[in-house]
Copies of this chain bind each other. A is one copy, B any other.
Amino acid sequence: MDKKIGLIAGNGAFPLVFAREARRQGETVVAVALKEEADPQLEQAVDQITWLSLGQLGKTIRFFKDQGVTRAVMAGQVKHTQLFRHILPDLLVTKLLARVVNKKADTLLSAVTREFEQEGIQFLPSTTYLDHLLCPRGPLTRRAPTSSEKSDIDFGLPLARHIAGQDIGQTLIVKDKTVVAVEAMEGTDACIRRAGQIAGPGCVIIKVARPKQDLRFDVPVTGPRTLEAMKESGSAVLALDAGKTLLLEKETLLKVADAAQLCITGV
């Protein structure tokens, strides 16, 4: 019998990266791609695929059971325009709302996973097969933090963990041992741009997981867009929670970072 894994695919590169890695490691990937969310490229990256809407829970379970799936992951974010229905969901806002829902959705997702479990389908951490993309400890870029940047990390890291522990946001930005910006609903990249506008170049960005992060649902992911925001705002350092943050496009990311003299480091 095949080694089979189910994939519930939201938006972004995460589901694609997961599918490719899982297949490279010998899995047959059976995907439920969420309509208006998942990347069409997924069709080529998996072995079986069906397109369903968010909320078609019964159909998802039936599809997985029909395909003989007993283990599955969720990867990629899901937009959600219901929460603040009265605002115009432009691109930014829609992205932001997705994150809110991710945060609020822990209890909902726990309930959903129990449904799957009752049907014999277990959810694995979405980092499964992606260990090599988890941020290690120490500098990943050619440039390591300077001693003053290291002081800023040491100053900000406990504060960032503190705030992430309150489910407020995962990013805190420091310069000269002063907190320049704290992320809540605006998202990492908007927070980075704000910090640049306020404090100019040289900011140190600290992004951490929640202390009780459930890696089945909500893995902090860093991609090229974050690096673009850093370049635009002249930020100096990106410090990531080692072992808990995924660098989905690691090679591109490090190439861009090195070219811009940026430092990415695991803490």
Query: Which residues of A are in contact with B by a Cβ distance under 8 Å?
Result: 83-84, 86-87, 93, 96, 100, 103-104, 159, 162-163, 166-169, 173, 175-176, 178-186, 194, 198-201
A181-B184, A185-B199, A186-B194 given; A166·B159 CB < 8 A: yes
Copies in the complex: 2
Report the Cα distance A178→B169, complex, angstroms: 11
Contact A200 B103 (CB under 8 A): no
Chain B residues positioned under 8 Å from A182 (CB to CB): 163, 168-169, 182-184
Chain B residues positioned under 8 Å from A93 (CB to CB): 198
Report the Cα distance A159→B93, complex, angstroms: 23
A86-B200, A186-B198, A198-B186 given; A166·B176 CB < 8 A: no
Report the Cα distance A183→B87, complex, angstroms: 22
Contact A184 B179 (CB under 8 A): yes
Contact B168 A198 (CB under 8 A): no
- List 22 interface pairs A-B (beta carbons < 8 Å), by A numbering: A84-B175, A84-B200, A87-B199, A87-B200, A96-B198, A100-B178, A103-B178, A159-B166, A163-B163, A163-B182, A167-B179, A168-B179, A168-B182, A169-B179, A178-B185, A179-B185, A180-B184, A180-B185, A181-B185, A182-B183, A185-B198, A186-B198
Chain B residues positioned under 8 Å from A167 (CB to CB): 179
Chain B residue at minimal CB-CB distance from A180: B185
Contact B178 A104 (CB under 8 A): yes
Report the Cα distance A237→B163, complex, angstroms: 23
Report the Cα distance A169→B175, complex, angstroms: 15
